[in-house]
């Protein structure tokens, strides 16, 4: 293991290199480009024995690696924003076909207006596409998630593609020291990048297979039911992989969520991605001031960790009752709330029978690369404290638009 000073994008590239995909195809889009540039270098330098295939669009990038996956090999692609939406059809397609593709997405705002900076509207728009979705907080976690994603995706119980999300620029372009594992360590952790003969969703030279077939109304429902069931059950293999990763590499987080100062927290911010680091800092500050603030970070949005969210907020280990919940995300589902807020609130409904739920406020912040500062997060906690005391608050609050709300 060596410590290198890497950006989030470079950390992803190293994670991919160490996972030894046989085919890499990606179309350039800011802020993802560095990943594919590094991978192209690695292939040219002989550090990665993969076919690096140039493509003419994102749609083709994902369709192409799907063809390669059908040939029974590990693959990688990466995109962002408009590119992710351009390949949207292929996301549903590859998920329905259950190919264990891993894709990195640099979370970036969607046009219009044009904007190349980070927000999470792109991946959240495709939350129902059937891909497992994870969100990295740090470059280190990004590298680790890539390796973990292959182990999860290729697990016979899962067989579902994984989208690893990094906040555009804030994480993709920010440098930090990253532990880069040795190749032998990763080789011992992951199965062979050549899938065994007969692996589901692959051609077979002895017993030819027809893939990506048509199914009539009754049959279609069964395939989709199984896809849903397996996605729900994927939470188990994800935890197993996390635990195995910790044992193997000596670092990591076990579980689809991560709590920080959570068990006695009265005011909790639920969030995802790199902004969690800023929230941690504010939680520490508030704790010194006697405010019982806490953080619940969602590492995975699909499968949605309902049980973990409820345990974190209402579990028996808690020493204090949660008085107010803030859901902080870089997204808005126009006409309702942020997608993550809708997801979290749907999970809270499961807990509604246990008594009155605390108020929950959706903080929509960081759209189009808007900076979210320590002071902003402090204000969010203040709003939560006031809501906990019974003050009426807007349920959806846009950062920077307070004067208009």
Partner 1 sequence: MADQSDWKVRPFQRPKNPQDWPLTPQCESGYLATSNSGWRTLWPQILDNCNSCGLCFVYCPDGAIAKGENDFPYVLADWCKGCGLCAKECPKDAIRMNEDDQK
Partner 2 sequence: MSISIKTLPNPEHFVGHKACGGCGGSLIVRWVLKVLGEKTHVVIPAGCMSAVGFIYPQMALGVNAIISPFAATGAVLSGIAAVVRAKGLTDVPVVGFAGDGATADIGLQSLSGALDRREKIIYICYDNEAYMNTGIQKSGATPWGVRTTTSPRGFRPELDAPKKDLLRIAAAHGIPYAATASVGYANDLLKKIEKAGQVDGPSFLHIFAPCPTGWGCEADATVQLGKSVVDTGLWPLLEWESRQLTINRQPKKFAPLEEYLAGQGRYRNITEDEIAALEAVRDRNWRELRAWNIHSSVNPDFG
Q: Which of 177, 191, 196, 200 binds partner 1 (CB under 8 A)?
A: 200
Q: Which CB, 5 or 225, lies closer to partner 1? A: 225
User: Is residue 395 involved in binding partner 2 (CB under 8 A)?
Assistant: no
Q: Which of 2, 45, 184, 210 binds partner 2 (CB under 8 A)?
A: 210
DSSP 100-125: --EEEEEE---SSSP--S--SHHHHH
CA atoms within 13 A on the CB side of 275: 29
The C-alpha atoms of residue 388 and residue 400 are separated, in whole angstroms, by 22
The item of partner 2, partner 1, none sharing an interface with residue 233, based on CB under 5 to 8 Å by kind, is none
Contacts of residue 250, Cβ cutoff 8 Å, sequence gap at least 6: none
Q: CB of 179 within 8 A of CB of 139?
A: no
* Shortest distance in whole angstroms from residue 95 CB to partner 2: 13
* Shortest distance in whole angstroms from residue 67 CB to partner 1: 14
Helix H or strand E segment including 312: helix 306-314
Q: Which of 14, 22, 98, 330 binds partner 1 (CB under 8 A)?
A: 98
The item of partner 2, partner 1, none sharing an interface with residue 229, based on CB under 5 to 8 Å by kind, is partner 1
The C-alpha atoms of residue 309 and residue 357 are separated, in whole angstroms, by 14
The C-alpha atoms of residue 33 and residue 373 are separated, in whole angstroms, by 27
Contact range with partner 1 by CB under 8 A, out of 9-17, 101-109, 221-229, 257-265: 221-229
The item of partner 2, partner 1, none sharing an interface with residue 395, based on CB under 5 to 8 Å by kind, is none
- Binding to partner 2 (CB under 8 A) within 80-119 occurs at 89-90, 93
The item of partner 1, partner 2, none sharing an interface with residue 51, based on CB under 5 to 8 Å by kind, is partner 2
Contact range with partner 2 by CB under 8 A, out of 49-57, 129-137, 286-294, 314-322: 49-57
Please count the other Cβ atoms lying within 10 Å of the Cβ belonging to residue 369: 18
Distances, alpha carbon 5 to alpha carbons 85, 175, 252, 278, 333, in Å:
32, 6, 19, 21, 36
List of residues contacting partner 1 (CB under 8 A):
96-98, 156, 159, 200-201, 207-213, 215, 219, 222-223, 225-226, 229
């Amino acid at each position: 293991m060596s410590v290198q000073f890497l950006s989030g994008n470079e950390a992803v590239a190293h994670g991919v290199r160490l996972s030894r995909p046989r085919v890499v195809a990606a179309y350039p889009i800011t802020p993802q480009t560095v990943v594919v540039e590094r991978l192209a270098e690695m292939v040219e330098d002989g550090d990665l024995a993969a076919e690096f295939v140039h493509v003419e669009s994102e749609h083709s990038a994902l369709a192409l690696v799907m063809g390669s996956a059908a040939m029974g090999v590990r693959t990688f692609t990466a995109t962002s924003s408009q590119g992710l939406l351009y390949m949207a059809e292929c996301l549903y397609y590859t998920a329905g076909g259950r190919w264990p593709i891993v894709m990195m997405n640099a979370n970036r705002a969607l046009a219009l207006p044009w904007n190349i900076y980070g927000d999470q509207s792109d991946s959240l728009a495709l939350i129902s596409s059937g891909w497992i979705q994870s969100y990295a907080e740090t470059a280190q976690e990004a590298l680790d998630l890539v390796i973990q994603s292959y182990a999860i995706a290729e697990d016979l119980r899962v067989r579902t593609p994984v989208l690893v999300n990094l906040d555009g620029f804030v994480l993709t372009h920010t440098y930090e020291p990253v532990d880069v594992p040795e190749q032998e360590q990763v080789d011992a952790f992951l199965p062979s990048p050549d899938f065994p003969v007969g692996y589901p969703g692959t051609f077979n030279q002895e017993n030819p297979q027809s893939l990506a077939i048509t199914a009539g109304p009754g049959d279609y429902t069964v395939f989709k039911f199984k896809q849903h069931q397996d996605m729900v059950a994927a939470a188990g293999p994800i935890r197993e992989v996390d635990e195995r990763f910790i044992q193997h590499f000596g670092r990591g987080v076990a579980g689809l969520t991560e709590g920080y100062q959570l068990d006695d927290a009265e005011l909790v911010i639920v969030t995802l991605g790199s902004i969690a680091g800023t929230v941690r800092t504010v939680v520490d500050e508030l704790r010194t001031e006697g405010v019982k603030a806490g953080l619940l970070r969602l590492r995975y949005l699909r499968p949605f960790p309902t049980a973990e969210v409820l345990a974190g907020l209402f579990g028996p280990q808690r020493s204090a009752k949660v008085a107010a919940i803030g859901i902080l995300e870089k997204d808005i589902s126009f006409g309702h709330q942020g997608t993550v807020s809708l997801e979290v609130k749907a999970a809270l409904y499961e807990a509604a029978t246990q008594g009155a739920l605390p108020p929950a406020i959706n903080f929509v912040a960081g759209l189009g690369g808007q900076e979210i500062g320590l002071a902003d997060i402090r204000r969010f906690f203040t709003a939560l404290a006031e809501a906990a005391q019974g003050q009426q608050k807007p349920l959806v609050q846009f950062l920077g638009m307070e004067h208009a709300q």
